[in-house]
Amino acid sequence: MERSELDRALLQAHEDKDSAALVRLYTLAGDQAEDAGNIDAACFYLTHAFVFALEAGMPEAKALNRRLAARDRAHPLEL
């Protein structure tokens, strides 16, 4: 997904209060930033995905926490 399309989709997901889409889209943004070698940006996006996943009780929270912990950006949690 192109960056401008991703940004529009994120804004729409926020407007719609669509937690599942927010987790998916922020994870995608994190993946893209990581692929580009921008670890700080990747962790920024993955943190957002993690928070939305936690708030919604989504199982993705566990994998997101592991990814952030592997980068020393979060403490490993028992989820």
What are the pLDDT digits (tens) for 40-58? 999 999 999 999 999 999 9
Other beta carbons within 10 Å of 36 = 10
Give the pTM.
Answer: 0.95
Q: What share of the chain is helix, strand, coil (3-state, %, to 5)?
A: 75, 0, 25
Handedness of CA 19, 61, 27, 73 (dihedral sign): positive
| Residue 65 contacts residue 50 (beta carbons within 8 Å) | yes
Residue that is written with structure tokens 């070698």 in the block: 37
Within the chain, how many helices (H) and strands (E) appear? 4, 0
Domain boundaries, the chain: 3-70
Residue 21 pLDDT exceeds 90: yes
CA-wise closest residue to 49 among 67, 27, 71, 66: 27
Residue 79 pLDDT exceeds 90: no
Q: What is the pLDDT of residue 42?
A: 98
